[in-house]
Amino acid sequence: MGVQSPNLARNKKTCRALGVPTIDLSMDRSVVSEQIIRACEEYGVFMITNHGVSNEIISRIEEETFDFFAKPAVEKHYSGPPNPFGYGCKTIGFHGDMGELEYLLLEANPSSVSQRSMALSNNPTRFSCVVNDYVQAVRGLTCDILDLVAEGLCLGDKSVLSRLINDVESDAVFRVNHYPPFDQSPKVLNPTADFQMRDDKFANNGDSSRVGFGEHSDPQILTILRSNDVGGLQICSHDGLWVPVPPNPTEFCVLVGDTFQALTNDRFKSVRHRVMANSNNKPRLSMMYFGTPSLDAMISPLPRMVSSHNAPLYKPFTWCEFKKAAYSLRLANRRLDLFRHNYNENSEKITQC
Ligand SMILES: C=C1C[C@]23C[C@@]1(O)CC[C@H]2[C@@]12CC[C@H](O)[C@@](C)(C(=O)O1)[C@H]2[C@@H]3C(=O)O
Ligand SMILES: O=C(O)CCC(=O)C(=O)O
Ligand SMILES: [Fe+2]
């Protein structure tokens, strides 16, 4: 047997030790609440099983969105470029971030969904129903998780967190990402193909992976992610290693966002994550509901998270201010730093995992 490099051995060991926790929502409420808090503190990410979202709602949205991505490129481009909403292919945000994916980004409220659906489907009524049913179910799940967190943190008002995202004015976003299978054989360049390598940035130089969606943290409170059985999602561990999150279509993956980090005064940390294209011959389809406050919601560390030993780490900001900051920066930027007390403008802004 060959000698394993120390890095590989360390990486494998960390993956085993780190394995993202899975929490069974059907267990005793106080146990679940404790497990969620521990997962948010230690990992910033966890899987949930027995989540109560029906298989029918999930398979209908999977089918509907797969049908959309199967359309000819010209048809899909009618719904783009993303502004930031609509259909996007490879470009992410407005500052040059790129990834090997195509996606749909939608405002997650019923009237925007129904308006958008006209351009997205031959059956807009069905499309908007399917998206709205999914978003409603997943928003309910997000609220349940936030209530469990509020109970575990003894926040007094048990719906103080869920109210932030349950607001009719919530700025929630729904995103579906479609990653084509990564063909490892040498490419025959075809200028009309949707997913050829664009430039050197995407050349894999013999490496078996390419960036599907680059390293970042999500700006919102909580992200509820569901994927098909194709992997690629990785989270950044405390010791700076990329740890794969095994795909499980029957579970949801919950990620702590920047706004949750600020609300908990750094007790929870937003998790840095990315998606690498893999050599599976199936596409990855992932969908994310981003639990988001309303634009005018004021975000500051919760009183319970602050004490004489724990001074507030962040200046109060509205979600609107934070969103503007996020959209003025690159994907990998640590935007929360801008709102820290005593933040030094000259310190390094683009720090990577
Ligand atoms: C490069 C960017 C894309 C993004 C807005 C941003 O300027 C920085 C944050 C990015 C992100 C990551 C999480 C979500 O996918 C997203 C919709 C969001 O709210 O923030 C994206 C933004 C986007 O793709 O428009
Ligand atoms: O596609 C995925 O699995 C994750 C994508 C992601 O992190 C995002 O859209 O913010
Ligand atoms: Fe993300």
Of all residues in the chain, the percent with pLDDT exceeding 90 is 79
Pocket probe mutation, ligand 1, options 83, 91, 218, max atoms within 8 Å of Cβ: 218
**Which band of pLDDT confidence, cut at 50, 70 and 90, is reported for residue 280?**
confident
Evaluate: CB of 271 within 6 angstroms of ligand 1. no
Q: Can you tell me the mean pLDDT for 213-225?
A: 98
Helices 110-120 and 124-152 meet at what angle, rounded to 10?
140
CATH number at residue 128: 2.60.120.330
Total of domains in the chain: 1
Q: Which of 83, 87, 92 is the best mutation target for the ligand 1 pocket, counting ligand atoms within 8 Å of the beta carbon and taking the most? A: 92
Report if residue 330 sits inside a domain.
no
Query: Has residue 340 been placed in a domain?
Result: no
Predicted confidence (pLDDT) at residue 6 exceeds the cutoff of 70: no
Q: Based on the residue annotation, tell me whether 284 is a catalytic residue of this protein.
A: yes
Residue 67: the pLDDT is: 96
The predicted structure's pLDDT at residue 4: 40
In a domain, 13, yes or no: yes
- Whether residue 274 has its Cβ less than 6 Å from ligand 1: no
CA of 275 to the centre of ligand 2 (A): 7
Check pLDDT > 70 for residue 321. yes
Catalytic site residue from 226, 284, 334, 335: 284
Residue whose Cα lies nearest atom 25 of ligand 1: it is: 93
Distance 206 CA to ligand 1 centre (A): 29
For 158: left if phi > 0, alpha if psi spans -120 to 50, otherwise beta; the answer is: alpha
Residue 353's pLDDT band, with cuts at 50, 70 and 90, is low
Q: Separation of 5 CA from ligand 3 center, angstroms?
A: 31
Percent of the chain topping pLDDT 70: 85
* Whether residue 175 has its Cβ less than 6 Å from ligand 1: yes
Would you give the DSSP letter of residue 170? Answer: B
Q: What is the per-residue pLDDT for 348?
A: 52
Q: Please state the rounded mean pLDDT for residues 187-205.
A: 38
> What pLDDT sits at residue 239?
86
> In angstroms, how far is CA 87 from the centroid of its own chain?
17
192-206, 308-322, 334-348, range with greatest mean pLDDT: 308-322
**Per-residue pLDDT at 7:** 44
Most informative mutation of 97, 220, 292, 327 for ligand 1 (most atoms within 8 A of CB): 327
* Ligand 1 pocket member 88 (CB < 6 A): no
Protein residue closest via CA to atom 2 of ligand 2: 286
pLDDT at residue 281, rounded to an integer: 83
Q: According to the model, what pLDDT value does residue 279 have?
A: 73
Q: Does a structural domain hold residue 334?
A: no
pLDDT over 60 at 339, yes or no:
yes
- Confidence check: pLDDT of 240 > 60: yes
pLDDT band at 16 (very low <50, low <70, confident <90, very high): very low
Query: Does the interface predicted TM-score (ipTM) exceed 0.90?
Result: yes
Per-residue pLDDT averaged across 37-65, rounded?
97
Beta strands in 192-309 (DSSP E): 210-216, 222-227, 233-236, 242-244, 252-256, 273-277, 284-291, 298-299
**Which residue minimizes the CA distance to atom 2 of ligand 1?**
93
Peptide bond into 124 cis (omega under 30): no
Q: Is the CB of 323 under 6 A from ligand 1?
A: no
- Express each pLDDT in 62-117 by its tens digit: 999 999 999 999 999 989 899 999 999 999 999 999 999 999 999 999 999 999 99
pLDDT band at 351 (very low <50, low <70, confident <90, very high): low
265 inside domain: yes
| Nearest atom, ligand 2, residue 216 CA | 7
Residue 328 in any domain: the answer is no
What is the per-residue burial (b if ≥16 Cβ within 10 Å, else e) of 36-70? bbebbeebbbbbbeebebeeebbebbbebbeebbe
Task: Identify the residue with better confidence: 54 or 78.
Answer: 54
CA atoms of 60 and 126, how far apart (whole Å): 10
Say if ligand 2 is within 6 A of residue 35 CB.
Answer: no
Summarised one tens digit per residue, pLDDT across range 132-156 is: 999 999 999 999 999 999 999 999 9
121 Cβ below 6 A of ligand 2: no
* pLDDT score recorded for residue 1: 33
Q: How far is the CA of 249 from the centre of ligand 3 (A)?
A: 18
**26: in domain:** yes
Confidence of residue 3 (pLDDT cuts 50, 70, 90): very low
Distance 138 CA to ligand 2 centre (A): 16
Q: State the Cα–Cα distance between residues 209 and 211, nearest whole angstrom.
A: 7
pLDDT of residue 342: 81
Structural domain boundaries, residue 230: 3-309
Q: Is 214 in the pocket of ligand 1 (CB under 6 A)?
A: no
